[in-house]
């Protein structure tokens, strides 16, 4: 009975989201968001839309670029933007391609994802990373973002969930940027924050126990995405995660620690935050990314985090892996694997932060705490 109610509620909300979210940016006039805009990032006219907080009163502020995940728009960060008003952070939430306000993928790009060679897929992912880097660089120059100066200034780049595939593509290909753009990034990059990355977007193997509504053939395809939207916002009770043992994780059934995050959203908020087309397992480009680019994800993950030449370009940059301890299993399993890889690469390439009592949506359920966490991670 409860499951039926949940799915009915979500189907209604997500249906509204699908009909209102496809034409452009939502109205944020009462949400604490000061600016909504867009930037063209290449000669083909590829455009990224964004929402942001605006500049703090102090000049030497730090700018944080946030990149959203699967099936949730940049509006998932609207509470963080509103909560940052009294901080010295400028929050910019980028809308990825194929999401509202940003350019969709062309049929040629979809064809590369589906049937391209490994070299074509690598080039496609590289282009994707450079597009994001170009957005950041253009935003930097348009708004004269302050460089690093002691404990002030600079930028941080945060990928959430699937968004990590795009932020790591940006970092891994930073050496291919034009010299002036590279210099601006070198003068500003303080931190790359990997918030709740699943193993698959790092090209890593997930534990065999891993479960998701999207991979369960017993669930009707029409219900997989609505159920995923509910399930992924839940809270889970795991065993002792300090042991880094995948067998101690809870993979399927949420706990009663707290109501799933989706139920703290009004229908209007759901219509702005949830974007079903991108999360469709049969037609959504995001699923093609996760299914077809795993080898390329692994290559860019290793380069971005462990390549000493690339890391040497950004001496001020820290890399953080952040996960909640009550989240779904994906990012916890990824953390276990990352620690092994980090040690094999000499250690101290990545810093790790486990946030107690939080799920996959710390930025929605605990926005003020999240802003404070950003200050701590970035070191400002």
Domain residue limits, the chain: 2-378
Q: What is the mean pLDDT of residues 67-71?
A: 96
The span from the CA of 262 to the CA of 234, in Å, is 8
Cα dihedral sign, 206-317-320-306: positive
The span from the CA of 142 to the CA of 228, in Å, is 38
The domain 2-378 is placed in CATH, from the list 1.20.120.1630, 3.40.50.1820, 3.40.190.10, 3.30.930.10, at: 3.40.50.1820
pLDDT of 1 higher than 70: no
The span from the CA of 114 to the CA of 293, in Å, is 10
Question: 1-10, 206-215, 233-242, 304-313: lowest mean pLDDT where?
Answer: 1-10
Report which of 64, 77, 163 is spatially closest to residue 375, judged by C-alpha positions: 64
pLDDT of 33 higher than 90: no
- What pLDDT is attached to residue 22? 36
Name every residue whose Cβ is closer than 8 Å to that of residue 222 and which is 6 or more positions away in sequence: none
pLDDT of 17 higher than 80: no
pLDDT in tens, 82-134: 999 889 999 999 999 999 999 999 999 999 999 999 999 999 999 999 999 99
Structure tokens at 283: 């037609």
Structure tokens at 294: 């795993």
Q: Where are the alpha helices (DSSP H) in the chain?
A: 2-20, 78-83, 107-115, 118-143, 163-172, 179-186, 221-231, 267-273, 276-279, 285-292, 294-306, 308-312, 329-344, 362-365, 367-378
pLDDT band at 278 (very low <50, low <70, confident <90, very high): confident
- What pLDDT is attached to residue 26? 43
- What pLDDT is attached to residue 27? 42
pLDDT of 8 higher than 70: no
- What pLDDT is attached to residue 19? 34
- What pLDDT is attached to residue 282? 80
Q: What percent of the chain has pLDDT over 90?
A: 83
Give the bridge partners for 194, in sequence order: 159, 321
Give the bridge partners for 40, in sequence order: 47
Backbone phi, psi, residue 362, to 5°: -60, -35
The span from the CA of 331 to the CA of 238, in Å, is 13
* 65, 158 contact by CB (below 8 A): yes
- What pLDDT is attached to residue 34? 60
pTM of the model: 0.92
pLDDT band at 198 (very low <50, low <70, confident <90, very high): very high
pLDDT band at 257 (very low <50, low <70, confident <90, very high): confident
Cα dihedral sign, 191-195-201-207: positive
SS3 category, 217: coil
């Amino acid at each position: 009975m409860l499951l039926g109610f949940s799915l009915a509620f979500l189907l209604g909300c997500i249906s509204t989201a699908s009909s209102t979210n496809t034409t452009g940016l939502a109205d944020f006039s009462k949400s604490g968001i000061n600016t909504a805009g867009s930037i063209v990032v290449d000669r083909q006219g590829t455009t990224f839309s964004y929402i942001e907080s605006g500049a703090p009163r102090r000049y030497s502020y730090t700018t944080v670029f946030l990149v959203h995940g699967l099936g949730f728009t940049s509006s998932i960060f609207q509470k963080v933007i509103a909560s940052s008003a009294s901080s010295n952070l400028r929050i910019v939430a980028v809308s990825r391609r194929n999401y509202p306000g940003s350019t969709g993928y062309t049929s040629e790009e979809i064809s590369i994802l589906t049937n391209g060679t490994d070299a074509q897929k690598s080039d496609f992912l590289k282009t994707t990373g450079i597009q994001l880097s170009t957005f950041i660089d253009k935003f930097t120059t348009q708004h004269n973002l302050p460089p690093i100066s002691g404990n002030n200034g600079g930028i941080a780049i945060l990928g959430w969930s699937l968004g990590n595939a795009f932020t790591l593509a940006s970092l891994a290909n930073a050496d291919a940027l034009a010299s002036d753009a590279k210099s601006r990034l070198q003068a500003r990059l303080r931190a790359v924050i990997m918030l709740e990355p699943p193993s698959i977007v790092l090209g890593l193997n997930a534990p065999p126990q891993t479960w998701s509504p999207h991979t369960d053939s017993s669930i009707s395809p029409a219900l997989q995405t609505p159920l995923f939207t509910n399930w992924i916002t839940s809270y889970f009770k795991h065993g002792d995660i300090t042991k880094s043992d995948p067998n101690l994780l809870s993979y399927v059934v949420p706990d009663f620690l707290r109501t799933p995050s989706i139920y703290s959203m009004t229908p209007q908020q759901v219509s702005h935050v949830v974007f079903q087309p991108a999360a469709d397992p049969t037609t959504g480009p995001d699923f093609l990314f996760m299914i077809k680019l795993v080898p390329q994800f692994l290559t860019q993950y290793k380069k971005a985090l462990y390549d000493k030449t690339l890391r040497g370009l950004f001496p001020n940059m820290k890399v953080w892996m952040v996960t909640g301890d009550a989240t779904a299993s994906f990012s916890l399993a990824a953390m276990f694997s990352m620690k092994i890889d980090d040690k094999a690469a000499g250690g101290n390439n990545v810093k790790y932060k486990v946030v107690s009592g939080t799920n996959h949506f710390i930025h929605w359920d605990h926005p003020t705490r999240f802003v404070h966490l950003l200050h701590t991670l970035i070191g400002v």
